[in-house]
Structure 1
Amino acid sequence: MSEFNVTLQQLNDLLTDESGFYSWPTKHCHEVFPRIYVGNAFVAMNVMRLKSLRITHILNAAEGDSDMHVNTNAEFYADTGIVYHGIPASDTDHFDLGVYFQEGADFIEKALAHKHGKGKVYVHCREGYSRSPSLVIAYLMLKHHMDVHSALATVRQNREIGPNDGFLRQLCCLNQSLSAEGKLPWNK
């Protein structure tokens, strides 16, 4: 896309099949970008599985204790050597996930730099479908200078995802501001 005004419909078209249907993830977690894994609460709470994946950092995009959240914290991983960071996001159209885009991107970047560039980060929410992929898409935009279309396509190519329309709108806003700042490829 050489335009910064990406529409919600264009992003939803990337997320659906030829019949217009969204797909549910086929596995608990997927590597969506080198050393970045997106997945669900099942893997987040399975320390043995995290260890087998050699995860060094966890970004919980659903921190909290309601049914919509995953109730883990730094104490949960205290004896594992895994570095934890939580973001108390709700998976609703009106939740402002955008205020956490930079914080999430900074944590992912720091995680990947860990152990001389050998860190691996597991970004999750309850299902690994909306909140966590949205944070990874924002990371790709902020740290890899991808436009929203390319970043979403990169994650979607490796995992079935379906960020809610509110999060997609916020990612479009991020796309516009990065474009205005000259931080996207077609500005160079």
Structure 2
Amino acid sequence: MELGTSELSYPGSGNWEIPIDLFGSKKRDGVSRGVLAFKDESGNTVFRVNRHPLNPNSSPLPKDKKLLLDASGNTLYSIFRYHNGSWKCYKGDTDGNTGLMFRVQRTLKTLTRVELEVIFEGERFNDEGCNLKVRGSPFRRSCCIYKDADLVAQSSLMYKLHQIYVSRGKFRLTIFPGTIDHALIVALFVIFLSGRK
């Protein structure tokens, strides 16, 4: 997997020089119940996250599996969560035997804070010195994703002026200009949301 911008056909892909906002929610028009959807500023669905049934014979048994889909319904990543606070992300829809792209390990978990470290598979990423970290509070849907010391993306709840109660069901994911694939950032954010469990 390259860290360069993907050639996927969704708004914001390709060369971009301004931050891109994706708006996440499980309660959007045209989205099935329980499906997490990410829409662009025009309201077009860019990514969806579906839970997927697990094969009970897989070993070691993952705790959870999610599929990250593009706007056309093509599976970009299969994300497996394990009991030890780790995740594995594979390219496409897979049973977890081939196509491992990266692993994520939880390095800190407190009541209000989670930190994750991303480890890419293959020599290419080690040579480039890619070092991604995710830090924040899943309960508040607030995190920052860093590549080395540079801020790549951040998320926050959708606040409104004079709002007393802020729903945790709607949030914004801002991806800053650079060369990280948007689908990779969304996959890391999905892993981050399950990081408190």
TM-score of the two chains, using structure 1 as the length reference? 0.32
TM-score of the two chains, using structure 2 as the length reference? 0.31
The structure, 1 or 2, with the larger RCO (C-alpha pairs under 8 Å, 6+ apart) is 1
